[in-house]
Amino acid sequence: MNTIAFIPLRGGSKSIPGKNLKPLAGKPLFHWVTEAALAVEAIDQVVIATDDPAIKATALAIGHPKLSVYDRKPENAGDTASTESVMLEYAEAHDFETMILIQATSPLLTSEDLSAGLEKRHETEADSLLSVVEQKRFLWTADEHGYGHAVNYKPGKRPRRQEFQGHLVENGAFYICSKQGLLETQCRLHGKIALQQMPEESYIELDEPHDWLFIETLLKSRNPSKFDVQSLPARRSSESEGGFEVRFPNISKIKMLLTDVDGVLTDAGMYYSENGDELKKFNTRDAVGLRLLREAGLKVGILTSENTRIVERRAQKIGVDILIQGAKDKAEELEKLLKAHNLTADQVAFIGDDINDLGILKMVGFAATPADGQPAVKNFVHHICQAKGGEGAVRELAEMILEESGKVEKYEGGKV
């Protein structure tokens, strides 16, 4: 393997807690640079180096053949650990020739920037390279008395901006070096160093909360067709206020609802009898919701990674169309179901609550989670239910689908 993109991601963050998974313009922060790297043909592998299980699961859910996850050592993931420490940790144990260090805090990075950087290093025969931006700012320094002194211009001959060459500033987006040079010098930059200039707006890194709004605005201007992931009611509320177009999935197209078990149909609790038998608490209202969907002509199913007789018996009692247990890869199981039932992904809704559901949640036309779903899951779904798992979340979703499709029935005593 010749060239790898290396993206170190820590679970801990002081300035912006959980920033690597925090949604930025509709997707987790680290997705922006990851997608840029995956799109570069000259990059053979993209490596996410993390100590955080949620980041690992979210990265693997991308499902790209060029992407892998490396479990970095805890000692190289703390607040005081340097980036070089995890680069060296990986380099000492893996074969490659060239490493491109990419920092997720620079989401304005594009695949064109990376390709240009690789070409620049090759053309200049440099040992290493870093990304920079040109800043046309007048620099000053203060002496021991507090008096200011101009660094890069003469106040008496203040140049006009168009005549001022400015200076190049490291923007922290990416660095390129050889494995050999990294190991020999213990540093990402060494030998003959080339510079790859990026647009001036890429100077901003996501280090502080106030940086977030600025970069998100730039990303949205680059990608006007994208929209923030939020609940359906929130989108409708925004739309009713006017001023911009809000798009959301067409729930009326849904022809199949799939649900997880633990944490969705149940409260995620594990109950045991005196004899050690495992017990689960299901909600009868969820069963009614699934029945109403079937009566309206939709397919309903249970898709779970566990494999128990309890779930099998519950599925038989409810009368679901589909029961898949022991699913190690739910996204793969969905692909099989789409072929078997002649459906497309946008015709399927799925409700899940934990990180092992991320792959399928990203694929379906309508993704939901209970009110107590994991934070990483809430970042991906279209709708967060008001009800918790095992307390009617599936019933709530079923009624939403029926209402949107115009198939809700009126029964004595009000809406079902």
Domain assignment of residue 243, yes or no: no
265 secondary structure, DSSP code:
T
Residues 218 and 264 in one domain: no
| Residue labelled with tokens 């989108």 | 235
Average pLDDT over the chain, rounded to an integer? 84
Residues 55 and 101 in one domain: yes
Q: How confident is the model at residue 241 (pLDDT cuts 50, 70, 90)?
A: very low
pLDDT at 225 over 60: no
Q: What is the dihedral of CA 9, 305, 63, 349, to 10 degrees?
A: -110
Q: Please give the average per-residue pLDDT across 308-318, as a whole number.
A: 91
Residue 236 is assigned to a structural domain of this protein: no
Domains in the chain, number: 2
pLDDT at residue 226, as a whole number: 42
Q: Are residues 72 and 17 in the same domain?
A: yes
Long-range contacts of 25-29 (CB under 8 A, 24+ apart): 25/216, 25/219, 25/220, 25/223, 25/226, 25/228, 26/226, 26/227, 26/228, 26/229, 27/229, 28/58, 28/379, 29/104, 29/105, 29/107, 29/206
Pull the structure tokens for residue 339. 């072929």
pTM of the predicted model as reported, rounded to 2 decimal places:
0.57
User: Residue 102 falls within a domain, yes or no?
Assistant: yes
Provide the domain limits for residue 90: 3-139+152-222
Residues 179 and 309 in one domain: no
| Structural domain ending residue among the three candidates 222, 242, 270 | 222
Task: Tell me whether residue 302 is in a domain.
Answer: yes
DSSP 225-250: T------HHHHHHHHHH-SS------
Other beta carbons within 10 Å of 281: 12
CATH of the domain at 406: 3.40.50.1000
Boundary residue ending a domain (172, 205, 222): 222
Which residue would you say has higher pLDDT here, 23 or 129?
129
* Same domain assignment for residues 87 and 218: yes
Residues 217 and 278 in one domain: no
* Residues in a beta bridge with 23: 28
State the Cα–Cα distance between residues 249 and 253, nearest whole angstrom. 9
66 part of a folded domain: yes
Q: What is the CATH number of the domain that holds 171?
A: 3.90.550.10
333 pLDDT band, cuts 50/70/90, is very high
Stretch 130-144: mean pLDDT, rounded? Answer: 89
Query: Looking at the structure, do residues 49 and 122 belong to the same domain, yes or no?
Result: yes
Is residue 92 in a domain? Answer: yes
In this structure, is the dihedral angle defined by the CA atoms of residues 56, 61, 62 and 68, taken in order, positive or negative? Answer: positive
Which tokens belong to 153? 């211009």
Same domain, 337 and 193: no
Within a domain: residue 37?
yes
Given a cut of 60, whether residue 154 has pLDDT beyond it is yes
Among left, alpha and beta (phi > 0; psi -120 to 50; other), residue 364 is beta
Mean pLDDT within 350-358:
88
Same domain, yes or no: 161 and 261: no
> Taken in order 184, 185, 187, 190, is the CA torsion positive or negative?
negative
| Same structural domain, 408 and 293 | yes
> d(Cα 61, Cα 32) in Å, to the nearest integer?
15
If asked whether residues 35 and 90 sit together in one domain, one would say: yes
Residues 265 and 368 in one domain: yes
**Mean pLDDT value of segment 348-355:** 91
Least confident of 17-31, 78-92, 317-331: 17-31
In a domain? residue 242: no
> What pLDDT does 232 receive?
43
DSSP assignment of 176-235: EEEHHHHHHHSSSS-SSEEEEE--GGGG--S-SHHHHHHHHHHHHHH-TT------HHHH
377-405 pLDDT, tens digit each: 887 788 889 899 999 999 999 998 998 77
CA within 13 Å, CB half, 403: 9
